[in-house]
Amino acid sequence: VRDVRNQLYNKLISLSLRFFSKRRTPQLVSRITYDAGVIQNAVAEGVRDLISESIQLIVLFISLVIIMVAFSIPWWFVLVFLVIVPLIAYPVRRLGKRLRSISRDAQEKMSDINSILYETFSGIRIVKAFDMTSYEKERFRKNNQRFYRIMLKSAKRLAAINPLTEYISICAGVTVVYFVGRLIITRGLDPGAFTAFLFCLFEMIRPFKKLSNVHLINQRALAAADRIFNILDEQPDIKEKKGALELPGFKDKVEFRNVSFRYEDTYVLKDINLEVQKGEIIAIVGKSGVGKTTLVNLIPRFYDPTAGGIFIDGNNIKDIKLASLRRQIGIVTQETILFNDTIRANIAYGNVEADEIEIKRAAEAANAIEFIQRLPDGFDTLIGDRGVRLSGGERQRIAIARAILKNPPILILDEATSQLDTESERLVQSAINHLIKGRTAFIIAHRLSTVKHASRIVVLDKGEIAEMGTHKELMQRDSIYRRVYELQFKDTP
């Protein structure tokens, strides 16, 4: 089970963003925790009982045969044994199939409960702010009730198996007593042999009952295994070619050649052609949903283009080792992802060999050193889940320090200042300016004031490059960029 959990986690973490975009995180967590736990229970209890009860059953059967040979008990008595087995096995098999289906439903409902817990606890501020505590309690109660009903069905079927096997066994036993009693009367069968025969026969009932329970436990485990193997059998859509190239560094340019991309049936990007020289700062602007984030997500191969290709120094990124490609790229996103660890560990994430001096230099460059030093534990401060103990601006500066420490030649900044107040934005923008010096950067921005000094500004509209040029060039035309810029600054004196 330990190995299954490891394999499952390794598989999940190797799958692309496309896979995760179609599934809820708590459901995937449930596969590793709940489903693997069901299998663990089957292995711990089921295998032990299967071995011990099977051995006992074999020993009793051999003893039964010896008694029959020694005391000349007719062989047609074996028919009694052969009748008992299918009589017990048939209902157990039917119940097992039903239990497997119920267990699969139960595991799905447990995933739903995990989803509610994850959403509620991660969004607890919104829950309280909108006074939705009662609503969330009721939502959880309903889902918990559904899970309870399914588990009750499972318990009823498990409870039914013992009385059923007992009833069948008693009926068979009464039949045996009747016929063996007649043998004692008509043929003078030794009562001691009769007693020994009955003892062995009835002792075989208990192992049969135990093995029936093992079968039902295994059916629950098989339902869990189905869900686990659905993940293990998932084929990653981002694959590394055999003999892929090692990219020693970024020397020349990044090219998008006739790149198109679609989610399912809808094209998000269409025929994108863009050449970016080393050291250029490329701003990508446009309305929400025009494909800005999708465009930059293609560079580190979070997704692969539906058509066309992306080239770094003339090499198609599909021909480059994934680890080698991603070492060249640093990312700072709008939604800052930090881990429940120390500030030091979060800055060093991606460069775990960094020493104390390097970490502090990165924090200084990101304008983070002052607030870190004010904290009681400094760099050893635990920041909580997703950095909840820090402000938005502080979290963003930690993310920038992380990118600085990685020291990548290519940067992707996805609306890194969009959710910050004025003072935090000033500090973060200053850190970004330090970060992009001497690097090739792709900057997605909603506030056009932050991209005025970009080497080129790319305006996306309906998945296509509608305009491209410097701020000055675009402002001299009747352009989309000019209209949006003037709209943003119409009230500015």
Mean pLDDT of 382-387: 84
How far, in Å, CA of 120 to CA of 137, rounded?
10
Assigned architecture for domain 2-232? Up-down Bundle (1.20)
**37 burial type by CB count under 10 A (0-12 exposed, 13-18 middle, 19+ buried):** middle
* Confidence at residue 148, expressed as pLDDT on a 0 to 100 scale: 87
How far, in Å, CA of 238 to CA of 241, rounded?
10
How far, in Å, CA of 124 to CA of 122, rounded?
6
* Confidence at residue 189, expressed as pLDDT on a 0 to 100 scale: 65
- CATH 3.30.40.230 assigned to domain 253-488? The reply is no
* Confidence at residue 488, expressed as pLDDT on a 0 to 100 scale: 79
Q: What is the CA radius of gyration of the chain?
A: 34
> Residue 201: which of 84, 51, 73, 91 has the closest Cα?
84
> Residue 35: which of 220, 286, 234 has the closest Cα?
220
Paired sense of beta strands 329-333 and 266-277, if any? unpaired
Q: How far is CA 339 from CA 263, 285, 389, 390, in A?
A: 29, 30, 11, 12
DSSP reduced 3-state for 353 = coil
Domain ranges for the chain, please list them: 2-232, 253-488
Here the tokens at position 298 are 């293609």
pLDDT of 200-238, one tens digit each?
777 777 777 777 777 777 777 888 888 888 888 888 888
Here the tokens at position 258 are 């006739």
Question: To which residue do tokens 């501020």 refer?
Answer: 125
pLDDT at 320 over 90: yes
* Confidence at residue 321, expressed as pLDDT on a 0 to 100 scale: 93
* Confidence at residue 125, expressed as pLDDT on a 0 to 100 scale: 67
* Confidence at residue 74, expressed as pLDDT on a 0 to 100 scale: 67
Q: What angle do CA 77, 81, 87 make, to 5 degrees?
A: 135
How far, in Å, CA of 332 to CA of 349, rounded?
13
* Confidence at residue 49, expressed as pLDDT on a 0 to 100 scale: 75
DSSP reduced 3-state for 420 = coil
Mean pLDDT for the chain overall: 82
Q: Highest mean pLDDT: which of 162-171, 187-196, 314-323, 407-416?
A: 314-323
